[in-house]
Chains A and B, each alone.
Chain A
Amino acid sequence: MKTLVTIFLGVLLWPGPALAETPAECRIAENQIDASFPLLEVTKALAKKRLDILVVGAGSSILPGANGAAQAYPARLQNALTEKLPGVTVKVTTDVKAGRPADVMAVAIKPALAAAKPALMIWQTGTVDAVRSVDPDIFNTSLSSGIGNARAAGADSILMNMQYSPRTESMIALGIYIENMRWVALQHEALLFDRFTIMKLWAELGTFDFYAVTKKLDTAERVHDCIARLLADLIVEAAKPGGQLPLDIR
């Protein structure tokens, strides 16, 4: 009897193949993924079975150490998308350099786009601007020009906002930059990957401890892995052919 119950429970708790794709700890934040606008260029690229993505980012798109680039979310995104999109060749190139505010990146975007010819640009920004309290108007203009350049080069855009960092929360005023990123994304019908809210939710639910003082990379790597998987979910969902209305996506 005992064995039967164990087997029964085992069957109940056995994760199905679909669930195994994304670890439970990431999935908690799944409903923060908001595919309100279709990624039309990505849809086209998927039809041709080749998806090139350019990640433009600053210090939080890379992890420290010799292996930092391979462990960070852009490399993990390539793996996650390759897994999710059988038969499609996925290539993620990066233009990542720490300490760059949005206006510096906006300038770097044009040559990076020309070199990578992506169907999608993922732009992680905002932290450096908030740290240096850059004028929000300059921040907005830079975001708009970067998205405009991507569009001109035939690429969709996803903006990725800041990390949730509870220890520095009373020192860096993120609020106004978060609001501006949301607004610029909406204005240009670009997608926003709300990393801040996602990480905050993980913190509230105890998925990750962001207060921890550590030199070890294990939590940081798991966080980047989750970000990559949720980002892959967002891209696949927003690129579904047919261009669903926002409400039908859920």
Chain B
Amino acid sequence: MKETPRISSAVVAERDLRLDLFRGVALWLIFLDHIPSNAVSWITIRNYGFSDATEIFVFISGFTAAFVYGKAMSERGFVVAAARVWKRAWQIYVAHIFLFAIYLAEIAYIAQSFDNPLYGEEMGILDFLKQPDVTILQALLLKFKPVNMDVLPLYIVLLAWFPPILWLLLRSASLALVASGGLYALMWWFGWNFSSYPSGSWVFNPYAWQLLFVFGAWCALGGAQRLGRWLTSPVVIGFAAVYLLFAFGIALTWHIPRFGIYVPKLVSELIYPIDKINLDVLRIAHFLALAVITMHFVPRNWPALKSRIFWPAIVCGQHSLETFCFGVFLSFAAHFVFTEVSNRIFMQILVSALGIAFMVGAAALLAWYKNIERKGSGQRPPFVQADLAGGGS
């Protein structure tokens, strides 16, 4: 990331494949984590530290958004770039509502078939079907969000805010980053968040998560270059490794509660609760440490990035919106298979592997479509191609 070209330069450098690779992997991990009671989700990073795939996804999304739309803004002006960002936000909104319709179908089916005297209380979740007028309206307003459908609304809000932030980033990148950090601090101070229906607030607080998105954008617009010297310093790498080990140790006590007594009370009082809603500082630090270590071991020009082994993850990362949505649908479907067919461990592994295969297949199909579209209209202006490269998602 540190060698990312300046956006202002006229030459469009080759896309950093590491972004696509890690975003693709993050999408797979999000899919696995979204399947309830899935043994395969033991392999995902949330079990071994503070942060999870969401941080990777949001950071890389900020990075690529700045990369693509920053170029558009410096070449074609604020209005054109803003229009394109908002068009993208609209597409994501439509995708979210489409997923909501699928969710409604699943829950309505389960409401018809579910009956067990043990679960009178849990059936309360089906109450909203009794008043579809309110529920569907609240869903359209992004206030009613089913489980695991919180990332896209966050992303819609982040993109809606993005044009003015991008404008500032292009003029004074550091000022924009400071402003973003200031908003994050104010959020903690005043407890700001968006409200939800029927109660509570957003699972991913946009006031908090914008920090990672803007930080990603800042890195794309030259920030990574400025950090370059720090990122390769042995001291920083050492600190990152120690912190990752510390987080791993703490995470171990979640799975084996009896180890909990080895965590000094002072430490546990200091770190808990590790707030995912408001993007806890510990989570940011964990993500940064992970990023430093990863960049140390996976250089930008690593030849393996172009090999066939990584192609499945890279192609998913290059079509992230579609792959993400398809992954949410597949996780519903997987849960449905567990409920109606079997939830044996063999089935869990099979369903997880098949799900990832479907995601890769869908992304490959999209890549093929884009390829023939591009060939079909050779005289398209170059900025459209930047968008087609999937950067905005």
> Which residues of chain A have a CB within 8 Å of any CB of chain B?
34, 36, 58-60, 63-65, 98-99, 127-128, 131-137, 140, 163, 165-173, 176, 179-180, 183, 186-187, 200, 203, 210-217, 219-220, 223, 246-247, 250
Contacts and interface: CB of A to CB of B under 8 A. Distances in A.
Contacts of A183: 272-273
A132 B198 contact: yes
> Which of B125, B331, B343 counts the most chain A CB atoms within 10 A?
B125
Contacts of A63: 117-118
Contacts of A34: 257-258
Given A133-B196, A166-B36, A214 B119 contact: no
B343 A127 contact: no
Contact of B148 (A136, A170, A180, A247): A170
Contacts of B196: 133
A219 B343 contact: no
B122 A131 contact: yes
Nearest to A137: B191
B119 A134 contact: no
Interface stretch (B75-83, B106-114, B172-180, B378-386): B106-114
B84 to A, nearest CB: 34
Given A58-B121, A170-B147, A171-B125, A135 B200 contact: yes
> Which of A166, A219, A223 counts the most chain B CB atoms within 10 A?
A166
A187 B125 CA distance: 30
Interface stretch (B14-22, B290-298, B314-322, B332-340): B332-340
Nearest to A65: B117
B207 to A, nearest CB: 15
Contact of A171 (B115, B146, B258): B146
Nearest to A57: B121
Given A170-B335, A214-B115, A99 B343 contact: no
Contact of A186 (B113, B258, B260): B260
A214 B335 CA distance: 20
B200 A213 contact: no
Contact of A172 (B37, B125, B198): B125
Contact of A127 (B116, B121, B272): B121
Contacts of B258: 34, 246-247, 250
A131 B110 contact: no
Contacts of B270: none
Given A167-B114, A183-B272, A212-B116, A134 B199 contact: yes
